Structures are given as structure tokens and as C-alpha cells.
Amino acid sequence: MTAVPHPPHPRAAVRAIAAPFAGEGAPWRAAAALMLLATLGAQHPSRLFGRTRRGSWGTMPNWKFFAPSPATHDYHVLYRTLDAEDTTSPWHPLDVGADRTPSQLVWFPTRRSGKALFDLVAEIRSVLDLGFTAATRTPAYVILVERVRAVLDEQGRTPPYVQGFQLAIARAPGHDLRNEPEVMAVFPYTPLDPHARTGTAA
């Protein structure tokens, strides 16, 4: 007959769990384990867990591993120029960061520029229902306009070769290529010469 193994004695299981917290350096290991458990618990949305973090006098980090409403799409800002011959160029993306790669799961320092663009577009979208006049007066739109001006200046595309440009905002589903990008807004023409009259590009 095959011997049936007996389950481990409860005391043996307790000794195995307590072993890392005995001997030299045990207080430090116990403190690290307690800090890890408290940090993980502090990420829970319940207010009960939040009390632990508030009572830690700033020693416990507040890392949210998942956003309450995670973004499911990317925003893209496009621009096209109007040259001296009244010819409109194709749309160009306003680059603010590198394309996504698998290595960014580990190291992604340029994600802050993408997050900044997301926040800028979100601010503009919040007033789009009020019309283009309200949207173009937001600080976010002014920042995007000045960024395009800087890009054109770096490329040497300045008056009289280029009269002005036009911005557009599109929304894309990120890595999901099954859906086409959606154009959300095409803004009025912006002259490079600040004294020129604004209007709609040809």
C-alpha cells in the first residue's frame, strides 16, 4: 500500500512563516514587510485603507497602479501650412515624444510629454462646445500654437515663405488598429505674422 502523506503540522507552518523574521536583522525585515503590506493596502480605493497612509506622516508612498478611468485612446495634434503661393501643405503630426515600443514597459521617461499633450487637448475639448473663439483663447491652445511656431522656425519655414498654419485635433485608439482615427476639430487659420488677420485657411 502507498503511504498517504500527512499534512504539515500547523506549528511547522507557523515556524516556516516566522523564520525570516528571526535572527540577525529580523527587525529590519519585519519593518520592510510591514511597509510593503501597508503600501499595497494604501492603493485600495476604500477610505479605510487611506487612513493608514494619512497617519504615516508622508513616509508611505501613494502609488496608484490603475487609474480610476484609464485612457483608452491617444490624442494627436496635426498642422498644415499655407505658403506664399496660397498652397496648403499636407497635414503633419506635431511630435511631442517617441513612438511606443515594448521597452517602454520598463523605461519610458518621455511619457510625460505625451501626458502633457493629452492634458492640453483635454482642456481645449472642455470648451469646444462654446465655439472656436473660446477654444483658441485657452492657455492650452496658445501653447500648441507656440509649439508649431517653434517647429516651423527650426525648419526655416518662416515668412515670406510661409504665411501661416492651421491646427487639427484627432483621436486614435492607440495600439488598436481596427478603428480609424477620428478628427475632432479643425481650427481656424493662424498667421505667422502676429499683425496679420486670422481666418480660415484655404
Per-residue pLDDT, averaged over 83-102, amounts to: 78
Q: How many CB atoms lie within 10 A of CB 153?
A: 11
Q: How high is the pLDDT of residue 157?
A: 82
* Cell output for 31: 519593518
Q: Does 125 score more than 80 pLDDT? A: yes
Rounded Cα distance, 42 and 60, in Å: 8
Residue pair 118/70 in contact by the 8 Å Cβ criterion: no
Reading phi first (left if > 0) and then psi (alpha if -120 to 50, else beta), residue 48 is in: alpha
**What's the CA angle centered on 202, arms 88 and 185, to 5 degrees?**
90
From the list 124, 110, 109, 108, the residue with the least C-alpha distance to 75 is 124
Per-residue pLDDT band at 78 (split at 50, 70, 90):
very high
Average pLDDT, integer, range 140-148:
92
Look over the chain and give the mean of its residue pLDDT values, rounded to a whole number: 75
Q: What percent of the chain has pLDDT over 70?
A: 56
Render 26-47 in DSSP notation, one character per residue. HHHHHHHHHHHHHHHHHTSSSH
User: Global pTM?
Assistant: 0.57
